[in-house]
């Protein structure tokens, strides 16, 4: 886990240097000597929840064109600069974050951070580049509409949160809306939602932490923009009954099932009990209880697993399975059975011990690379978990009791309140 031991025998952990610049930007730096390289992870709190009213997909489209020209660099100049240094730049949008991520040689760190800063702070969104990227975004949307797995998950999120909730909207928008988005929409979005108060810059690698902070200060310190108006996020509605929707896609080879609940926020003290419970349900070994039952013993599923995604608003616990259309109803019945057993009996002492050991043991693997450390520190920064979170996390997991795990299962995992979406070659009554 990249831990160090102090002279007193205490575990120091990652112990990154964190500095808040006068304009509100946060810089988190960690020196490592793994390789002569530096991972850079820049995140702006301007994810898809910031889409303007009536324009879902605007932030996603901005992510596809933000690197295609700035006030001082053309699209070709940016591409040539990255290519000449062997850098692959990833630009990603989640509900809350707009991120630029790359790894460069330590000797290139200063000019590369300057380039990324220019992209974040001063994009011009040229019309010609926007036209190209809109075409690419529309192609992706058409592919999504033909993908049962995406249709099932998007349908489930819409049902869980409502199509007007930022968590329930399609993050990539619709073909019609993307076609109508203009340069003015995107530059206005950037001007109103991007600013130093929303930036977290994480730097990990073969560079002294103080120098990394100084370079980040020289790049971002002069950025001036007022803090954006906070976005009001409605609480996640709780389902009171079982809901089931079918999206017929009769030309497909298999059906995708999305089955889920709204759960808790990341700040909820029940988080660690929930995390361990989900690991037992659909993550551990070959897919937890779900994988053991539905795929291994019954041989029904091409894939089955569960994910737990708490956030600022109560996030979903999502169970996904891919099955033949003949097995849709059997698979859902088996999911119901596993969820009911979890709610009724909780997990066993052996499952708790093994999952806890697995999750604690997987931390060093997650922190083996500079990029892995940067991702961990960025998450800790976003949720305010503290610079010593990696040191505290094992004890937080060790403190979870069987009773706490059973409690979250009883409170949140009720098949009578499950929301289910089936997308694929299936219609109601086929499996009966």
For 230, residues 6+ apart whose C-beta sits below 8 A from its C-beta are none
162-175, pLDDT tens digit by residue?
Answer: 998 999 999 999 99
* pTM, 2 dp: 0.94
Residue among 33, 215, 192 at smallest CA distance from 116: 215
Please give the pLDDT value at position 5: 34
Q: Is the pLDDT of residue 390 over 70?
A: yes
Mean pLDDT on 353-361: 96
- Report the pLDDT value the prediction gives residue 12, as an integer from 0 to 100: 67
Residue 307: strand pairing partners: 318
Residue located via tokens 């800790």: 380
The kind and range of the H/E element at 96 are: none
Contact in structure between 217 and 393 (CB atoms under 8 Å) = no
pLDDT in tens, 297-346: 999 999 999 999 999 999 999 999 999 999 999 999 999 999 999 999 99
Average pLDDT, the chain: 95
Q: To the nearest whole percent, how much of the chain has pLDDT over 70? A: 96
| Segment 172-193 mean pLDDT | 98
Q: What is the pLDDT of residue 286?
A: 79
- Going along the chain from its start, the domains and CATH numbers come out as 17-220 (3.30.830.10), 243-424 (3.30.830.10)
For residues 156 and 161, give the distance between their C-alpha atoms in angstroms, rounded to a whole number: 9
Q: Is 326 helix (H, G, I), strand (E, B) or coil?
A: helix
Residue 238, pLDDT score:
87
Angstrom distance (rounded) from CA 365 to CA 362 = 5
- Compute the Cα dihedral for 339, 341, 345, 348 and give only its sign: negative
In 181-241, the DSSP E strands lie at 199-205
Q: What is the Rg, in whole angstroms, of the alpha carbon atoms belonging to the chain?
A: 23
Res 34: pLDDT: 86
The pLDDT of residue 72: 96
Question: Is the C-alpha dihedral spanning 159, 162, 166, 169 positive or negative?
Answer: positive
Q: Return the higher-pLDDT residue of 238 and 146.
A: 146
Phi, psi (degrees; rounded to nearest 5) at 353: -65, -45
pLDDT, tens digit, 9 for 90 and up, residues 69-122: 999 999 999 999 999 999 999 999 999 999 999 999 999 999 999 999 999 999
Strand 419-424 vs strand 243-248: parallel, antiparallel, or unpaired?
parallel
Cα 426 to chain centroid distance, Å, stands at 30
Is 1's pLDDT higher than 60? no
Q: At what angle do helices 271-282 and 328-345 cross, to 10 degrees?
A: 140
pLDDT in tens, 234-293: 999 889 999 999 999 999 999 999 999 999 999 999 999 999 999 999 998 778 999 999
pLDDT tens-digit readout, 200-233: 999 999 999 999 999 999 999 999 999 999 999 9
Answer yes or no: are the C-beta atoms of 196 and 224 closer than 8 Å.
yes
For residue 318, the cross-strand partners are 260, 307
Model confidence over 359-377: pLDDT tens digits?
Answer: 999 999 999 999 999 999 9
pLDDT at 430: 60
Quick count: other Cβ atoms within 10 Å of Cβ 200?
21
- 11, pLDDT greater than 60: no
Q: What is the pLDDT of residue 183?
A: 98
The pLDDT score that the predictor gives to residue 9 is 34
pLDDT value for 3: 47
């Amino acid at each position: 886990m990249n831990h160090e031991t102090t002279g007193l025998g205490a575990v120091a952990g990652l112990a990154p240097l964190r500095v808040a610049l006068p304009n509100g930007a946060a810089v988190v730096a960690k020196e490592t000597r793994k390789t002569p390289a530096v991972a850079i992870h820049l995140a702006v709190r301007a994810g898809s929840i910031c889409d303007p009213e009536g324009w879902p997909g605007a932030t996603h489209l901005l992510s596809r064109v933000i690197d295609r020209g700035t006030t001082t660099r053309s699209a070709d100049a940016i591409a040539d600069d990255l290519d000449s240094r062997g850098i692959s730049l990833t630009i990603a949008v989640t509900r809350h974050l707009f991120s630029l991520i790359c790894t460069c040689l330590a000797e290139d760190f200063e000019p590369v951070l300057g380039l990324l800063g220019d992209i974040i702070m001063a994009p011009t969104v040229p019309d010609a580049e926007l036209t190209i990227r809109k075409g690419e975004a529309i192609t992706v949307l058409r592919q999504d509409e033909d993908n049962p797995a995406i249709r099932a998950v998007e349908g489930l999120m819409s049902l869980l949160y409502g199509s007007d909730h930022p968590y329930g909207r399609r993050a990539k928008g619709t073909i019609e809306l993307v076609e109508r988005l203009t340069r003015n929409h995107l530059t206005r979005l950037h001007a109103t939602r991007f600013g130093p108060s929303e930036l977290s810059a994480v730097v990990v690698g073969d560079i002294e932490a103080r120098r990394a902070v100084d370079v980040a200060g020289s790049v971002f310190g002069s950025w001036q923009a007022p803090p954006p108006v906070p976005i009001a996020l409605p609480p996640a509605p709780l389902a009171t009954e079982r809901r089931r929707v079918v999206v017929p896609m009769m030309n497909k080879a298999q059906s995708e099932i999305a089955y889920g609940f709204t759960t808790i926020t990341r700040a909820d003290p029940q988080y660690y009990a929930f995390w361990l419970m989900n690991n037992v349900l659909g993550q551990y070994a070959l897919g937890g209880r779900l994988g053991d039952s539905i795929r291994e013993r019954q041989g029904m599923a091409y894939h089955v697993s569960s994910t737990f995604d708490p956030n600022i608003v109560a996030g979903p616990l999502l169970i996904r399975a891919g099955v033949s259309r003949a097995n849709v109803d059997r698979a859902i019945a088996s999911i119901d059975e596993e969820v009911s057993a979890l709610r009724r009996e909780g997990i066993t002492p052996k499952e708790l011990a093994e999952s806890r050991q697995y999750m604690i043991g997987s931390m060093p693997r997650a922190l083996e690379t500079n990029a892995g450390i940067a991702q961990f520190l960025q998450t800790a920064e976003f949720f305010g978990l503290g610079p010593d979170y990696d040191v505290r996390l094992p004890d937080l997991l060790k403190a979870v009791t069987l009773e706490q795990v059973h409690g979250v299962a009883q409170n949140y995992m009720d098949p009578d309140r499950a929301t289910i979406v089936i997308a694929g070659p299936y219609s109601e009554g086929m499996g009966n």
